[in-house]
Structure 1
Amino acid sequence: MSTWIFGAERWANLIYYCLGGHKDIIVGCFFEKDSLDVYTVSQDGALCVWESDAELKDLRKGPKYSERKMTVDNKRTDEENGLEIIEDGEPKGDVIKGSTEMSREVGGIKNVRYSQRNKYFFNKEGDFNKLTAAAFHKQTHILVTGFASGAFHLHELPDFDLIHSLSISDQMISAITVSPTGDWIGFGCSGMGQLLVWEWQSESYVFKQQGHFNNMNSLAYSPDGQYLATGGDDGKHSSSITKVVFTSSGFVVLSASLDGTVRAFDLHRYRNFRTMTSPRPAQFSSLAVDISGELVCAGSQDSFEIFLWSLQTGRLLEVLGGHEGPVSNLCFSPVQSVLASVSWDRSVRLWDMLDSWQTRETFQLTSDGLAVTYRPDGQELAVASLDGEITFWDPQTGRQTGSIAGRHDLQMGRKEAEKITAKHSAKGKSFNSLCYSADGESILAGGQSKFVCIYNVKEQILMKKFEISCNLSLDSMEEFLDRRKMTEFGSLSLVDEGTGDGNGVEVSLPGVKSGDMSSRRFKPEIRVSSLSFSPTGRSWAAASTEGLLIYSLDASLVFDPYDLDMDVTPASIHQQLGKKEWASAIVLSFRLNEMLLIKKVLEAVPFDQVAVVCSSLPNVYVDKLLNFLASTVEKSQHLQFYLTWIQCLLSLHAQKLKIRSGAVMATIQQLLKSIKRHNDDLSKLCDWNIYSIRYAAALSKQRGLKRAAGELISSEEDDAADETI
């Protein structure tokens, strides 16, 4: 409820100052432009204007107030001892003692003091609207305040004139920022995940976006890989969205929900132009669109049926029956009009869309089916089942071609309320999402675990496991329970303080996905609900409890600076290049750690200055430069230029590199591998073309030489004799 003002430098007349006047928590405090005047805003909607009796130019550097006061006290002591001090030829007057307030002026330096000029209130009398965020733009003197009701106010200070007032949301505004020019205002609403940018002069939206504020259940890449659609427990549907897909054109995205509707959204106008429903209420758990973008299929988890619509007309074409359990997933073949469906009845069915929607083939599984997907060429089908296995099938012959036992790769953690170990708990876990890579050689699998596994389809082996989260606030993250929560009565998580019957916490039923939100300590369980590979093959995405995760091979998209500072910017690097300060530009580029910028700086260094620059580099940047050269020389066209860099670095810093050989051994091995590959390629090229090179060299020597006249005549006679013969 109080505001403290501290001097950023060692000012003699302003070390710290405390301001009161508020009855609630301070939300924001702001300085006026080029002034020491302060505005403070509190949560109860009060604004205090504090006026300083000093300007910025009045701040003085010198001895602190305590030192100056000690000098004055010593002076007073001398007076008490009978020493008369005469100023301007006259005796000094009596000293008044007993004042506990800070003196206005001590030692000839005037102390900074504040006084409350005005106090204003945002709420009218009788109303109360909690103020949650505030921002102040110094150039325009505009104060922006946000409230719990979703409204915001614009006031011009210091007169507190209302410029604008508007309600932009029904949720609390949790953050506000103003652009440097003061034209745009950004608002953040954490409750709904909303982000809004408002231009207050024209009273119009510049940008409006809303993220997920609840679980994400599905995701899909657009055909060109430029967009990513996600669906969750929030959205336009009245219930949870279970699946989202793009059409082949990329202009329409469809979503299926547990409310029994399938909605189609136009990405040009951003509107819902088609809503498809079933004749009787059904909960749709899966969705698929054929390659033409005309047929839309949705599987039901309560009626065990598959519904087929036309996207153009929105008319229901057919209801496909045959499954004896909930339909868990659907997938269209990328090359044929064949629909694959997997169900809890331990079967996979192939439906021919061109032959009266009849069942074309049925595959029997060893356990309940959870996910199905086609390889991009349509020649293979992958199915995930409840027993943790991934089986591969030939859709043409109906023969199983392979299987992967992935239950041990999940490495499921132990829940806090579980009474069995993580090892035994993993026996009931499985993959619920599958996705082929763009080339069809690998497959991604994710499920009830914090790991996403990628397998080689041909060899049927695990290639890599990705840990999607290290957040210990989520459940099932650790394999063993925390000993600090163990007591002689068992785990503290199994004891609910609110229950008086002594039975403790109720154990969750099998199949519960989100946990018991009614419990006192609710911890969402870590899981991967959906996976998707980008059509470009350069990245893949996962929808999990942690959020939306994107893994990419394009390292240039990752901003990972080293020893970053306010002065380390691309503009300062280009400025150093303009001054021909090569070593400084290289150091700054490595601190910013932008690969394209580092490459540009290195290639800007003149060839004859490479050795000089290498000798002046600090040791820590020698390792970073070697590592960059090792990764660049393998695919760069400037082979001699980069080899010169490598030679100079190794020659000038060989002794220091030898001392820390363990740290740079991997980089040296990568360099050797790249140089050897270039050597093999060039030597083969020279061996294969050695005669062509000799012929070209001999021909270049003959170019420009004139032949003698006698040789020309003899050659003409020979030609004539040949014609006669």
Structure 2
Amino acid sequence: MKFSYRFSNLLGAVYRQGNLNFSKDGNTVISPVGNRVSVFDLKNNTSETLPLSTTKNITCVGLSPDGNLAIVVDEDGAALLVSLITRAILHHFHFHKPVSSIRFSPDGRKFIVTKENVALMYHAPGKQREFNAFVLDKSYYGPYDETTCIDWTDDSKCFAVGSKDMSTWVFGAERWANLIYYSLGGHKDLIVGCFFEKDSLDLYTVSQDGTLCVWESDTEPEGLVLKKSSDKPKPQRQREEEEDDEEEERIEGQEGEVIRGKAEAPKEKEVKNVRYKQRSKHFFNKEGDFNNLTAAAYHKPTHILVTGFASGIFHLHELPEFNLIHSLSISDQRIASVSINCSGDWIGFGCSGMGQLLVWEWQSESYVFKQQGHFNNMASLAYSPDGQYIVTGGDDGKVKVWNTNSGLCFVTFTEHTSSITNVTFTSSGFVIVSASLDGTVRAFDLHRYRNFRTFTSPRPAQFSSLAVDVSGELVSAGAQDSFEVFLWSMQTGRLLEILGGHEGPVSCLCFSPVQSILASASWDRTVRLWDMLDSWQVKETLPLTSDGLSVTYRPDGQELAVATLNGEISFWDPHTATQTGSVAGRHDLQMGRKETDKVTAKQSAKGKSFTSLCYSADGESILAGGQSKFVCIYNVKEQMLMKKFEISCNLSFDAMEEFLDRRKMTEFGSLALVDDGAGDGDSVNISLPGVRKGDMSSRHFKPEIRVSSLRFSPTGRSWSATTTEGLLVYSLDGSLVFDPYDLDMDVTPASIHKQLRLQEWTSAIVLAFRLNEKAFKQEVLETVPHDQIRVVCGSLPDIYVEKLLGFVAACLEKSGHLQFYMTWAQSLLMLHGQKLKNRSGAILPTLQALQKSIQRHFDNMSKLCDFNMYNIRYAVALSKQRGMKRAAEDDVKEEEEEDEEELSEEMSEASVEDAEMIL
């Protein structure tokens, strides 16, 4: 089994904090999620997480005008220059202080970074090949407090900076003679947004108290005049003053011109300076005193201002008349970020409180995109039998189902009223069962999206574990307070039996994949095997060395793995009730030191253990995770560690570093233990032993990184873990691994091409699979004529049948040659079905991968066929309607012609009679 698993995607979290950005075409939203960046394609309805991460949570993202580059900055000011085309990190940089906002100029030549009360203008990277991609051009000083927002004019000549000191500063990007800096007041609260009008120096400023000021400039952008450079030597005193002013920037190792805003505007005798006057002032309708304006965005071509409030309400106004176009409440949480796409049709909203990301089309008043992660930690996950879906349960009491192909949630069940402890799929793949601390076990139907069964116990119990048998008929749940295991019937919903005997909380349940036997692990240091066919009696009792935390069966049902509190994983033969081996994993569970810990990380790791186990699809390896940032893969036969995965490097979580930072140590101990509160004399609340989550209401809350659940996908190509960060998916990247099979001197690309020229299809396929290069395998398969596929499959050696079937399953997932690869799969299964059946355990992951690919194509084709069918029906009905209309028109024409003929005959007869009378 290969172990080249790489980070693939992040599910379960769509937005945490920071600013949202739309791509250049307006069809993609770029959202910061923790210390990663997710890209949501609104046109194709898919999501992707970039393979990069910062050391702390991301606070702001700046996107270049051409959409090729992005600058990502975290809480400490560490920046990454990222290519959105290759998804690669191009450059690392550190601003040394937290950055509040970052914005590229419209022409893409410069970008502004604001930190503390200074605005720094850099040359945009990529225009010239330089060793340092971040070259400082100018430093602008003016605000007396932290800066909050930036906006550029359309011609990139000037930019505005809003500040917490209630002022807005307008700076010139060049040395303009009539505009170096200009300060605007007029507000009574911090500035949330400042926006220039299109092709103008007119400015709009919005403050937190819901006030909009419209500023009118007396100069057009074409009226800005460059300042003439004076060649006159400066006095010695003036040079010394300027050197003192620039000393701070030189300390950072950067060079750049320093521009300071002073109390009085600069006086130029030759050119008239730019002046602003307040044209009007408007106030937003507030529902309460605490309904602060929290986010704002302005679309210049359509003159639409979008404002978001702390109550979840947003307004659309047309400026400068301040006409209300639209007002709606999209959430009950604070809107943290607002963004508008290039066409002005779609508005993106980010709510950090609930982790929501919404894209609203205001003209049709409909959602384009609506996603929300779990409000709190994820507790459990499970794959569907075909690997198409992942179901997760969280501490917020919600059950969410995610599509593994798109990475998006398509249904959320909210019937539970307390934390979810476990979720699972039945063998059919259309029923989800979840256990919760609210005392219920619920079954959900994926066809009608409803809760169709609710299982309860005679006495209220908190269910901490769950298992469903292979047939899907028996549902079992273990209670953590009554030490009992409850059994229900899925068909009738009735309680069948209560299994008693454990002397401690039941921590985990697992049904055998091949027999009707239930294994239950408990804190009483035993694993009990219950026979479901023999009056639910205890078949065997396996003694453990410590409290049992997790138990799982191997896919063939011939082995049992148990994780215990002392950090060990023991392997048992369920038929003979004997232990076959064990793995001491305590040393592999490296854990960092918490800020409030008074013992070292090495001592703290002695109390850690694995809490989740999962066998690989072939049963050769086992995946283990727990109270650590590491996930371990062990070889069961050799009982040794094969690989460790570090699931997070985010220092915003607690217990990430092995040693405490010396800068956080004081004479009284760690800074986290020293009370820096309001001075009321109360001591700091230190978390008690066993408390996992901490106090959410405390001023300094840092969640601790941990793995709550792990699962291999049925196809074996990927595995997922529910962590504090979200649902992490790791998958195999086959293109980067060269893994030949039975390689010889004559196995070369030239020999493969020679066999193809000779039309020796079977030998060409064998050589390609021995070389094991994906490109050659695909080339050989697609060269074989369609009518020769069955002949080639019949003459293929048995050892290459499984390899070819696995490759066909992988190609079928992405290739557009649907019928061609379906013919390969059908021929292999029909001609070698009996041989494959004898090795069903080993071939099962391949068959499940094939089923997943076929099922996805079937879903897509059925949707397309249904759509075409309705289109054809509509066209037929329309043609019939037109035919009937034409027939009616023809009838009317015939009647009119008959009437005309009768009328002409009558007139001719009347004219004959008149002539006779005259005569």
TM-score normalised by structure 1 residue count: 0.68
**What per-residue deviation string (whole Å, max 9, x for no partner) do you get for residues 276-301 of structure 1?**
22221111111122223333221110
**How far 1:26 moved relative to its partner?**
1.0
Cα 1:164–1:633, aligned 2, differ >3 Å: closer, same or farther? same
**How far 1:119 moved relative to its partner?**
0.9
1:63 matches 2:228: yes
CA distance in 2 between partners of 1:537 and 1:229 (Å): 17
Identity in percent: 80
5 Å matches for 1:115-126?
Answer: 115-123=277-285
Is the CA contact 1:418–1:507 (under 8 Å) kept in the aligned structure 2? no
Counterpart in the other structure of 1:4: 169
CA distance in 2 between partners of 1:501 and 1:45 (Å): 34
CA RMSD of aligned residues (A): 3.2
**Greater CA deviation, 309-318 or 459-468?**
309-318
Counterpart in the other structure of 1:16: 181
**How far 1:502 moved relative to its partner?**
10
- Aligned residue identity for 1:45: G
**How far 1:157 moved relative to its partner?**
1.3
**How far 1:412 moved relative to its partner?**
2.7
- Structure 1's unaligned 5+ residue stretches are 71-98, 558-631, 641-725
**How far 1:354 moved relative to its partner?**
3.4
**What per-residue deviation string (whole Å, max 9, x for no partner) do you get for residues 392-438 of structure 1?**
11222222211111112112333333333333333322111111112
Counterpart in the other structure of 2:776: 637
Is the CA contact 1:437–1:537 (under 8 Å) kept in the aligned structure 2? yes
- Aligned residue identity for 2:614: C
CA distance in 2 between partners of 1:125 and 1:541 (Å): 44
- Aligned residue identity for 1:15: I
Counterpart in the other structure of 2:662: 483
1:252 matches 2:252: no
Counterpart in the other structure of 2:32: none
1:137 matches 2:299: yes
1:461 matches 2:600: no
**What per-residue deviation string (whole Å, max 9, x for no partner) do you get for residues 478-520 of structure 1?**
3334434445554444454679999966764442222355666
**What per-residue deviation string (whole Å, max 9, x for no partner) do you get for residues 327-352 of structure 1?**
10111222333222111111112223
TM-score normalised by structure 2 residue count: 0.54
Classify the secondary structure of the residue corresponding to 2:705. coil
CA distance in 1 between partners of 2:683 and 2:289 (Å): 44
Cα 1:67–1:300, aligned 2, differ >3 Å: closer, same or farther? farther
5 Å matches for 1:335-350?
Answer: 335-350=514-529
**Greater CA deviation, 2-11 or 406-415?**
2-11
Classify the secondary structure of the residue corresponding to 2:602. helix
CA distance in 2 between partners of 1:361 and 1:132 (Å): 62
5 Å matches for 1:399-414?
Answer: 399-414=578-593
Classify the secondary structure of the residue corresponding to 1:152. strand
Partner of residue 419 from structure 1, selected from 567, 582, 598: 598
Counterpart in the other structure of 2:357: 195
- Aligned residue identity for 1:228: I
CA distance in 2 between partners of 1:273 and 1:404 (Å): 42
- Aligned residue identity for 1:311: M
Counterpart in the other structure of 1:384: 563
**How far 1:378 moved relative to its partner?**
1.9
- Aligned residue identity for 2:776: Q
Is the CA contact 1:417–1:505 (under 8 Å) kept in the aligned structure 2? no
Is the CA contact 1:633–1:639 (under 8 Å) kept in the aligned structure 2? no
Cα 1:47–1:428, aligned 2, differ >3 Å: closer, same or farther? same
Counterpart in the other structure of 2:206: 41
Greater RCO (Cα-Cα under 8 Å, separation 6 or more) = 2
1:181 matches 2:343: yes
Is the CA contact 2:735–2:774 (under 8 Å) kept in the aligned structure 1? no
**How far 1:268 moved relative to its partner?**
4.2
**What per-residue deviation string (whole Å, max 9, x for no partner) do you get for residues 306-327 of structure 1?**
1222334433332222211101
- Aligned residue identity for 2:293: L
**What per-residue deviation string (whole Å, max 9, x for no partner) do you get for residues 230-279 of structure 1?**
22211333222111222233333332211112233333444434332222
Counterpart in the other structure of 1:303: 482
**What per-residue deviation string (whole Å, max 9, x for no partner) do you get for residues 167-225 of structure 1?**
11111111112222222222111101112222212222232221123222212222232
Counterpart in the other structure of 2:243: none
Aligned pair count? 534
Cα 1:520–1:157, aligned 2, differ >3 Å: closer, same or farther? closer
CA distance in 1 between partners of 2:528 and 2:320 (Å): 73
- Aligned residue identity for 1:303: S
Is the CA contact 2:189–2:208 (under 8 Å) kept in the aligned structure 1? yes
Cα 1:499–1:10, aligned 2, differ >3 Å: closer, same or farther? closer
CA distance in 2 between partners of 1:246 and 1:462 (Å): 30
**How far 1:451 moved relative to its partner?**
1.6
Counterpart in the other structure of 2:791: none
CA distance in 2 between partners of 1:136 and 1:25 (Å): 18
Classify the secondary structure of the residue corresponding to 1:297. strand
5 Å matches for 1:322-337?
Answer: 322-337=501-516
Counterpart in the other structure of 2:385: 223
Classify the secondary structure of the residue corresponding to 1:637. helix
**Greater CA deviation, 315-324 or 415-424?**
415-424
CA distance in 1 between partners of 2:634 and 2:288 (Å): 65
1:112 matches 2:274: yes
Classify the secondary structure of the residue corresponding to 1:187. strand
1:528 matches 2:707: yes
CA distance in 1 between partners of 2:533 and 2:438 (Å): 30
Partner of residue 546 from structure 1, selected from 710, 721, 725: 725
Cα 1:533–1:63, aligned 2, differ >3 Å: closer, same or farther? same
**How far 1:44 moved relative to its partner?**
0.5
**What per-residue deviation string (whole Å, max 9, x for no partner) do you get for residues 670-714 of structure 1?**
xxxxxxxxxxxxxxxxxxxxxxxxxxxxxxxxxxxxxxxxxxxxx
CA distance in 1 between partners of 2:467 and 2:579 (Å): 24
Partner of residue 369 from structure 1, selected from 545, 548, 554: 548
Partner of residue 442 from structure 1, selected from 621, 626, 630: 621
- Aligned residue identity for 2:625: G
1:54 matches 2:219: yes
- Aligned residue identity for 1:390: I
**How far 1:551 moved relative to its partner?**
1.9
Counterpart in the other structure of 2:394: 232
**What per-residue deviation string (whole Å, max 9, x for no partner) do you get for residues 561-591 of structure 1?**
xxxxxxxxxxxxxxxxxxxxxxxxxxxxxxx
CA distance in 2 between partners of 1:203 and 1:536 (Å): 41
**How far 1:152 moved relative to its partner?**
0.9
CA distance in 1 between partners of 2:530 and 2:777 (Å): 56
- Aligned residue identity for 2:355: G
Give the structure with higher Rg (CA). 1
5 Å matches for 1:353-364?
Answer: 353-364=532-543
**Greater CA deviation, 273-282 or 38-47?**
273-282
- Structure 2's unaligned 5+ residue stretches are 1-165, 235-262, 398-413, 737-770, 780-919
Cα 1:195–1:251, aligned 2, differ >3 Å: closer, same or farther? farther
CA distance in 2 between partners of 1:156 and 1:33 (Å): 14
**How far 1:120 moved relative to its partner?**
0.6
Counterpart in the other structure of 2:33: none
**Greater CA deviation, 516-525 or 472-481?**
516-525
CA distance in 2 between partners of 1:132 and 1:372 (Å): 48
Partner of residue 398 from structure 1, selected from 574, 577, 591: 577
Cα 1:191–1:501, aligned 2, differ >3 Å: closer, same or farther? closer
CA distance in 2 between partners of 1:546 and 1:326 (Å): 28
CA distance in 1 between partners of 2:676 and 2:266 (Å): 53
CA distance in 1 between partners of 2:699 and 2:321 (Å): 48
**Greater CA deviation, 217-226 or 118-127?**
118-127
Counterpart in the other structure of 1:315: 494
